[in-house]
Amino acid sequence: MTQVANDGSQSTSAASYRSSLAAGERYLRIDRRNGQIAALVAVIAVPVVVFMLGDYWVQLCITGAIDAIVLQSIGVLADRTKLFVLCPLAFASIGAWVVLQLFVWGWPGGFYFWLLLAGIAGIPFGLIMGFPALRLRGLNLAVITLSFAFALDSIFQVTPFPGSQSYTEVLTRPSPIGSDRAYFVFCWIIFVVFAVILYILDRRPFGAAWRIVARSERATAAMGLSVRGAKLGVFIISAFIAAVSGGLIVGQVYTAVESNFSPVASLVLFAVALFVGSGLAEGAAVGGLLSAFAPQVLSSIHVPQDFGNILFPIGTVQVLAAGTSASAAWRLSFRRMLRRRRSKNASAPDTTTDTTTAVVAASTPAATATAAAVAAGAVGDGAGTPVVPLGALDLGSAVAPSPGVSLVAAGPPALRVTGIGVRFTGVIALQDMSMEVPAGSVSGLIGPNGAGKTTLVDVVSGFIKNYDGTVEVAGRDIDNLLVHQRVRAGVRRTFQQERTIPELTAGEYVRVAARRRISIQEVAGVLEFIGGPSPYDRISDIDVGTRRLLEIAGCIAARPKILLLDEPTAGLAEADSLAVAARVSRVPDLFGCAVLLIEHDMEVVRASCSHITVMDFGRKLAEGRPEDVLKMDTVVAAYLGTADKAAVVER
């Protein structure tokens, strides 16, 4: 194990990181347990309460539970992927049609099986809606889904639901769910099952990818996640849930009429979904309650029933203006309340601090001394208590002898680009560009603005498809691979503008980015190494500079073969930039991946790179060791326009 002497400042920063880590872990445990208890209480208490109500109210509760399921299907899309799908009840009408048709045909399997088939029948329609969303976002999707609701509504006006006009034979529910109270419990169980499935999915890369897609397709692909898979997946789930709800409506009223599924009813539920934040289970449940009971409650206080449709939109507008849904706000205040109560009971001094602020303060680059200090901290403190993840980091056995050179055995270069040419309309962006990044090294790519550096990164990572020349990673030709396939082949990159996901915590983000099983210790180790935040910090609470470090941590955790960093220190203070540089120089040693660093700050380049390439006007201008290349007249001229060599050399 590497042992580096710690001085006072190092141990302070490492200790504060660890105490914030421990606080975050504790709060996570408390929140989880409280959440589980609350969920369990709600799951049991709701049916108990409903059993005590009169028949009329039980019917309303069934409507509420079914509405809550429709709201879940809206929440999957609107909350997670920010895709506005305005036809939930159109999917539901398909489910209703299927159940009724199967009943008329006398299919075997009975109601439960038909309900499953109803959900499955919704999927192709979800895919039809989702297919345009693969490449298009937002408004197009809202328009096509509203048109779909409009079209299907007209079809059901002309062609009534099967069996809805014959009164000779009527669908009945199987005996276990024959009574209204039992049917409510059945609907409630389905709601809970969907909620649990969505909860589990949210915590896996598949579900996390939805939130990343909402933020940026580039970021999704750059993490090796399939944009197509994420988007189609969410449509499949949403359509399935909505179609099941349609089948449940048939189970409730034994028939279906087109007015149950009108486009405007879809829009009303959509407004309710945004208002309550139906991406969270409690939001969907409360939304279902609201939409089913609001008319009754209003008329009981002598307000006309249709005021509901005026009140919901007001709530929606208010929620969109505030930027947070009702359920998200409730969850937050619920947590705060319970944490406060717990702090009072425990009266422990450290629990009174708010984790977020404490952790952010401790983890901003400014608060950490130097990269060496952090790297040393990551290994272990003087007291020999390895809180962070030694084995997990797989540190190898040596300290890097000089910047950016590792002792990793030489093989084929980590990255080799040969004869790359890119042409945009009328502009030659890259011309015959060739370079190599040796395995286990940090190489720099510098050049004035517009030289083509980011274009080269786009070519390597696959965002630009039409190029001449070849790209090889660790000896393998990757020209025919798509972005996410290149990621899987070992290419990772960061962007000039950060693309982290505000809704996730830092730890969740790193886990998603890693695309492999990774322990929380290893996540914490990588974050501490890079000088990033605690894994428990919510990204929305972290400053932009630290978010960029978090992106680097995510890439490193994936253990790629080549890491492309696009100006990682832009916007950081000089001391922080140098700290990042020192950390980056250790990446090949600690994580076994080569780094190509695009940078404008020559100090950073000097501190981290063993080799640099200079570009200008889309071509290679020079390459070699930093100290030699930065003195070349051509390089100086490219940067300054005139041969003011002294100025550059000084820098």
Partner 1 sequence: MWQSALIGLVQSGGAYALLAVCVILMYRTTGVLNFALAAIGVAGTYAFSSFYTSGMNLAEAAIFGILIGAAASVVCGLIYIRWFFDATPTYRAGVAIALLVGTAAVTIRIFSDQPREIPALIPGSGFAVDGVVMTPTTIFGIALAIVFTLLVTQMLHRTRRGLQLRAISQGPVASELLGLPVRPLTLAIWGGSGAMGTIAVMIISPGLSDEVESISLVIVPALAATLVATFRRYWLALISALVLGGLQGLLLYYQTLIRYEEVIPFVVVLGVLMWDQRKELWDEAR
Cβ atoms of residues 315 and 275 within 8 Å: yes
Distance of closest approach, residue 461 Cβ to partner 1, in angstroms: 11
Distance of closest approach, residue 558 Cβ to partner 1, in angstroms: 20
**CB nearer to partner 1: pick between 319 and 584:** 319
Cβ atoms of residues 452 and 460 within 8 Å: no
DSSP 123: H
Distance of closest approach, residue 539 Cβ to partner 1, in angstroms: 18
**CB nearer to partner 1: pick between 264 and 643:** 264
Distance of closest approach, residue 315 Cβ to partner 1, in angstroms: 8
- Residue 114 region by backbone torsions, left for phi larger than 0, else alpha for psi between -120 and 50, else beta: alpha
Q: Give the sheet arrangement for strand 491-493, strand by strand.
A: 491-493, 562-566, 594-598, 442-446, 611-616, 619-624
**CB nearer to partner 1: pick between 310 and 646:** 310
**CB nearer to partner 1: pick between 296 and 497:** 497
**CB nearer to partner 1: pick between 82 and 645:** 82
Residues 6+ apart with CB under 8 A from 32: none
Residue 276, CB half-sphere, CA atoms under 13 Å: how many? Answer: 27
* Integer Cα distance of 130 and 153 in angstroms: 20
Residues 6+ apart with CB under 8 A from 63: 252, 292
**CB nearer to partner 1: pick between 215 and 335:** 215
* Integer Cα distance of 15 and 389 in angstroms: 15
Residue 249, CB half-sphere, CA atoms under 13 Å: how many? Answer: 30
Helix (H, G, I), strand (E, B) or coil at 240: helix
Distance of closest approach, residue 428 Cβ to partner 1, in angstroms: 18
Distance of closest approach, residue 458 Cβ to partner 1, in angstroms: 7
**CB nearer to partner 1: pick between 79 and 436:** 79
| DSSP symbols for 64-107 | HHHHHHHHHHHHIIIIII------HHHHHHHHHHHHHHHHHHT-
If you search the block for the tokens 């606080």, which residue do you land on?
23
Distance of closest approach, residue 309 Cβ to partner 1, in angstroms: 4
What are the E-state strand segments in 195-323? none
**CB nearer to partner 1: pick between 298 and 390:** 298
Distance of closest approach, residue 416 Cβ to partner 1, in angstroms: 23
**CB nearer to partner 1: pick between 341 and 465:** 465
Distance of closest approach, residue 643 Cβ to partner 1, in angstroms: 31
Q: Give the sheet arrangement for strand 415-424, strand by strand.
A: 427-437, 415-424, 468-473, 476-477
Helix (H, G, I), strand (E, B) or coil at 602: helix
| DSSP symbols for 137-192 | -HHHHHHHHHHHHHHHHHHHHHSPPTTSS--SS-----GGG-SHHHHHHHHHHHHH
Distance of closest approach, residue 501 Cβ to partner 1, in angstroms: 14
- ∠ CA 410-412-413, nearest 5°, is 90
Helix (H, G, I), strand (E, B) or coil at 13: helix
437's tokens: 């990044």
**CB nearer to partner 1: pick between 69 and 268:** 268
428's tokens: 């030659």
Distance of closest approach, residue 134 Cβ to partner 1, in angstroms: 7
Task: List 427's β-bridge partners, or say none.
Answer: 424
**CB nearer to partner 1: pick between 391 and 502:** 502
Distance of closest approach, residue 217 Cβ to partner 1, in angstroms: 5
Interface with partner 1 by CB under 8 A: which residues?
A: 82, 84, 86, 128, 131-132, 134-140, 142-144, 146-148, 150-151, 153-155, 157-158, 216-218, 221, 262-264, 267-268, 270-271, 274, 304, 306-307, 309-310, 312-314, 316-317, 320-321, 454, 458, 463, 465, 495-497, 566
**CB nearer to partner 1: pick between 74 and 527:** 74
**CB nearer to partner 1: pick between 431 and 496:** 496
644's tokens: 């003011």
Distance of closest approach, residue 350 Cβ to partner 1, in angstroms: 39
> What does DSSP say about strands 442-446 and 611-616: parallel, antiparallel, or unpaired?
parallel
